[in-house]
Structure 1
């Protein structure tokens, strides 16, 4: 008599069909934004569930139910994100019924999937094993790479954005609060879980340190000067020097131009007084030409005087009194500028400089004061330069108008 046929081939076949069905379903309908809850995660969960089931010495029927539940536990993601577990168990029941799977075993598979929801408390051995397999990543070496995938998925699907520090803190909280339920999982993942927890603490400290350094570098303070403050002062000094050079160059240009005009006008005036000279004859016949020439002379004189005043060195100073408080802390005294410290004795100057070098607040106070007085000098320079250019512009307009009137009068 031949032995009766066992049901092993049938059971193995249902698992193969479930694998093919879920693989095709995910490849066709799973949203691309699900970079963590992908087919890879399901494959990993199935692998770990099978390993835990075998380590727990499950019966063949229970091991099959556990593996089927692992295959379907994330199937609901193709339709819904939050609460996908309930949709997953519905899809598993529908598909298993179509395959003619026993109703009582379908109920076992669905109850096992239900336990993976965060609000459900796993009770049966299958439920405990599946939940352990689902979070087995925290006890594997790929925990941190998977965590980054989950972070990216939450940002696109849920709009949750985390800074590096916030994410490191949330991952540490997860490792501290989550736990494996079964002895098989504790034995399989325990060592790597401890290593991951230790590494996560290190990463959090490192991230917090970097964040603190960036904040200090961005804000800086007077007690502990940072690159940003030093760059600000360096830039301000360079700008003041450049603006002062520009003002002096423009003033020198006006001085040279108007000096030439004055020389020419004086030459013409001398020619006018010399009756035998050709120019003198012209002025004698057309005395009205002396009007535009006089306006041009006044214009040149006014413009050159204001330009000279602009280029003239201006040294700010202060009135030093013996009863004044300490030099370095006096906001009106700038020990970094010769116009101020040249009025002090050598002892007072040395004492003030030593105090500046000891106190960072005092150093910055003197630098701010120096920039303030430089600004005053620049304000005066550019005001006089503007006056010089305005006189020159208005004078040329008047000269042109008066010359035109003179030509009309002659005709």
Structure 2
């Protein structure tokens, strides 16, 4: 290989014919899914190979061989995807033979093409220059646009699908592991290559933040999970307190109503008891009136008893709290409720509260436990309240029916 003289870019007729042949071949046979390994990529590699060859002071024949290898290095894609480099060598050899190109130069072109395969090491200067030209995109501003084209091509041809974050990681790993082999390539691409690595790192960081934000939005915690959790607890406590207050007010109303009703009935009966003869005369004339009176009295009594049970304070406690070795983290213990911690010694209570304030999980565990038992108490309250209202409703209906029957019986 002659390298002692400076040679101008090769303009041999064979190069013009090669360009025409590859252009027509790609137009006719290259799959449309190959959006990265297109004629545009081949033309870019040819351009860079010329520039690197000239910067390396290659001789005319060697520069011609390098440019020919650049034109043919991807023609194998028209027939096969994986291992296309070897098919490119064969197709280059066939075409160059038809053109009467010297056999030793054909072999040189083929050996230069072979080095573009990922498993073939580059050894000669021409191989190193073609490898650098083929990977020149990573030292150019078009790297990111070309990377997206490659991503789309892999998805279409190989079925490989990447998320934005995964692709950013893949590209960064590629840039960090890749390198240019020749001095000409390093001088030509080093600045933009370093800048691309920096930009890829920023892009990965940015996509990572976006992915995290999407994940948080999907789980409903948004940008500040702590605030969302505290709002949830605050809302749940407020709702439970309102429901408890409503239950107590309704129970109080039933107690007052039935207490008044019972007072009227008892007062009336007491007054009549003082007039035994008159009362006896009343019931003797229409004894069936005792039925509605009795039903009303029993109704009022049953309703007021269940209402009182509903309004009665319900304090849950656990005698075994004192023997609990880890009070604050026990899921069944609620140090925020006096019914639990009143059974503890002051030292145990202070120790448990200190642990709660120090550990977020312990605090949330106790708050969840507190809400659970509030719900348990509310369930009992509303069950008794419903029973009280049901007794009162059914009792009034039976009283009205029995009184109507009594009137009909009297008439």
Tell me the residue number matched to 1:36.
36
- Of residues 246, 249, 263, the one that matches 1:249 is 246
**1:235: how far off?**
1.9
Within 5 Å, which residues of 2 pair with 1:59-138?
59-93=59-93, 100=99, 102=101, 104=103, 106-138=106-138
Distance 1:207 1:156 in 2: 26
Match of 2:23, SS state, is helix
TM-score (norm 2): 0.66
Indicate the RMSD between aligned Cα atoms, in angstroms: 5.3
Whether the 8 Å contact between 1:49 and 1:129 is mirrored in structure 2 is yes
Change over 3 Å in CA distance of 1:363–1:16 after alignment to 2: closer
Within 5 Å, which residues of 2 pair with 1:218-297?
227-228=224-225, 231-232=228-229, 234-246=231-243, 248-249=245-246, 252-253=249-250, 256=253, 288=288, 291=291, 294-295=294-295
Match of 2:69, SS state, is helix
Change over 3 Å in CA distance of 1:8–1:131 after alignment to 2: closer
Distance 1:68 1:140 in 2: 23
**1:132: how far off?**
1.3
Distance 1:52 1:400 in 2: 108
Distance 2:410 2:40 in 1: 102
Tell me the residue number matched to 1:174.
174
Whether the 8 Å contact between 1:36 and 1:146 is mirrored in structure 2 is yes
Deviation digits for residues 134-157 of structure 1, max 9, x if unmatched? 111222233344334434443444
**1:51: how far off?**
1.3
Whether the 8 Å contact between 2:262 and 2:301 is mirrored in structure 1 is no
Tell me the residue number matched to 1:140.
140
Distance 2:67 2:285 in 1: 121
Whether the 8 Å contact between 1:258 and 1:301 is mirrored in structure 2 is no
Deviation digits for residues 265-302 of structure 1, max 9, x if unmatched? 9989999999xxxxxxxx99976576466546534543
Distance 1:167 1:335 in 2: 49
TM-score (norm 1): 0.66
Deviation digits for residues 117-139 of structure 1, max 9, x if unmatched? 11223344333222211111222
Tell me the residue number matched to 1:3.
none
Whether the 8 Å contact between 1:295 and 1:398 is mirrored in structure 2 is yes
Change over 3 Å in CA distance of 1:198–1:242 after alignment to 2: closer
Whether the 8 Å contact between 1:299 and 1:395 is mirrored in structure 2 is yes
Distance 2:158 2:402 in 1: 79
Tell me the residue number matched to 1:154.
154
Structure 2 alignment gaps of length 5 or more: 1-9, 218-222, 273-282
- Of residues 18, 21, 46, the one that matches 2:21 is 18
Match of 2:188, SS state, is helix
Alignment: residue pair count: 385
**1:335: how far off?**
5.8
Structure 1 alignment gaps of length 5 or more: 1-6, 219-225, 275-282
More displaced 10-residue stretch of structure 1: 235-244 or 342-351: 342-351
Whether the 8 Å contact between 1:139 and 1:190 is mirrored in structure 2 is yes
